Amino acid sequence: MQNYDVIVLGAGINGCGIAEKLVSNGKQVLLLDKSGVGQGTSSKSSRLIHGGLRYLETGQLHLVYESLHDRQRLVEKYPDLVAYKRFFLPIYKSSPRPGWMIRIGLWLYDVLSGSRLAGRSRKENKEDFLARFKAFCREDLRSVLSYVDAKTHDRELTRRVADDFQDLGGRVIVHCEIEKLEWTDSSFIMQSSAGGFSAPVLVNATGPWMDEVNEKFNLPAKFQIRKVSGIHLIFEGLIVPELMFMQTREKRIFFIIPEPENDQTIIGTTEREENCLMEDVHAQEEDIQYLLDQVNAYLKTEHQFLREDVRDIYIGVRPLVRRIGELSDVSREYKLDLHTKGETRLLHVFGGKLTTYLSLAENVAKVLGK
């Protein structure tokens, strides 16, 4: 049996971030994953490090503020992996939100960001936009705005955090299946495909697998996960020269994300409530067609996409938080759920975006204290 101060379950961005924070505080930490580092939701996102412009509409100012500050810290910490980019936001006659409302939202976003480095939102010249974004329709285009957010590569960022954790002396074991978990007054005792481990503190950072893990090992929890999947479509080549924030008529949003480094463009995402086990979550043809229809609505006929133009599709599941017995989300903010028994502590991490992993990890370290 190998003993540690803390065992962290799940090597997604949150598990890796927490493990790195705890090892830098001098703890002996073991990070376990049943598949690989960043193989879960942390490699299926829109790859944005952002405040979440749309959360302003629902008044989640704290979430936006925290995310924008984490964004700044990540740009400074990993300049080769997280970079500021300008996002273009064309407003057509069919736009569900008037231009003035979006301008106020962007102004507030700039204020909350507080960063001079990022650059400010602004009004773009319509003719310049049409000249550069050649596939877009001129008809009914009212104005074009732009703002700044950051872009990353989610899996590479997660792997970098895991590497930093190992450089600080932490241990990662992947493809590790936990066979048995016993919780006594003095420690968690685990039998796994990689051997036996024990620690007085267990952090459960299994993201959308959380409920399945809690049920399997009979662990108590105050919250549950609401699994909401989202797909992204990948197209060959650079469809647009800059990143785009687009609105659908039904007030939903989607992004068009050119990736010059991979000579591809990503379009996403969708939202679908999933009530099955994680292994049964698959991309639905209906969602693929939905995204194609949404983007085609803005494009000239000769530039519209067909199903066969889609080179690849990926699907991820958002681990949103809900209180047990309630159907709606608590909010898009994460929740830390602490349970104690004798000398031991169990901490579940519910929710948490890629963008906010730094503050989440710091809060976990505070909750666990010494």
Q: Which residues bind ligand FAD (CB under 6 A)?
A: 9-15, 32-35, 39-42, 44-48, 50, 178, 205-209, 213, 230, 269, 316-319, 352-355
Q: List phi, psi (to 5°) of 334.
A: -80, 160
Q: Which residue is nearest to ligand FAD (CB)?
A: 12
* Cβ 152 vs Cβ 73: under 8 Å: no
Q: How far is the CB of 123 from ligand FAD (least distance, A)?
A: 25
Which two structure tokens, joined as six digits, stand for 323? 């209180």
Q: Can you tell me the distance from the alpha carbon of 89 to that of 22, in angstroms, rounded to the nearest whole number?
A: 40
Q: How far is the CB of 361 from ligand FAD (least distance, A)?
A: 11
Q: In whole angstroms, how close is the CB of 52 to ligand FAD at the nearest point?
A: 8
User: Could you give the CA distance from residue 307 to residue 294 in angstroms, rounded to a whole number?
Assistant: 13
Rounded to a whole number of angstroms, the minimum distance from the CB of residue 269 to ligand FAD is 4
Q: Collapse the DSSP code of 257 into the 3-class scheme (helix H, G, I; strand E, B; otherwise coil) and give the result.
A: strand
Nearer to ligand FAD, 40 or 105 (CB): 40
Residue 36 CB, nearest approach to ligand FAD (Å): 7
Give the nearer residue to ligand FAD in terms of CB position, either 38 or 105: 38
What is the spatial distance between Cα 346 and Cα 204, in angstroms, rounded to a whole number? 8
Rg of the Cα atoms in the chain: 22
Question: 44 or 226, CB closer to ligand FAD?
Answer: 44
Using alpha carbons, list the distances in angstroms from residue 214 to 223, 273, 321, 346, 349. 11, 20, 14, 11, 12
3-state secondary structure of 191: strand
Which residue's CB is nearer to ligand FAD, number 18 or number 141?
A: 18
40-73: b (≥16 Cβ within 10 Å) or e: bbbbbbbbbbbbbbbbbeeebeebbebbbbbbbe
Least distance in Å: CB of 136 to ligand FAD? 23
Taking the complex as a whole, the smallest distance from the CB of residue 200 to ligand FAD amounts, in Å, to 19
Nearest to 152 by CA among 364, 296, 353: 353
Residue type, 179: E
Q: Give the residue with the Cβ less far from ligand FAD, 239 or 317.
A: 317
The amino acid present at 280, given as its one-letter code, is D
Residues 6+ apart with CB under 8 A from 156: 81
> Which two structure tokens, joined as six digits, stand for 153?
């590569």
For ligand FAD, which is the closer residue by CB, 40 or 90?
Answer: 40
Question: CA-to-CA distance for 42 and 317, rounded, in angstroms?
Answer: 10
Q: 239 or 354: whose CB is closer to ligand FAD? A: 354
The secondary element (H helix, E strand) that includes residue 235 is strand 223-236
Smallest gap from residue 152 Cβ to ligand FAD (A): 8
- 94 vs 289, beta carbon nearer ligand FAD: 289
Nearer to ligand FAD, 50 or 345 (CB): 50
Q: What's the closest the beta carbon of residue 33 comes to ligand FAD, in angstroms?
A: 4
How far apart (Å, rounded) are the C-alpha atoms in residues 168 and 171? Answer: 9
CA 205 to chain centre: 14
- In the bound state with ligand FAD, the residue whose beta carbon lies nearer, of 349 and 368, is 349
Residue of 232, 230, 234 lying closest to 310 (CA atoms) = 234
CA geometry: angle 270, 275, 281, nearest 5 deg: 60
In the complex, the smallest distance separating the C-beta of residue 276 from ligand FAD, rounded to whole angstroms, is: 15
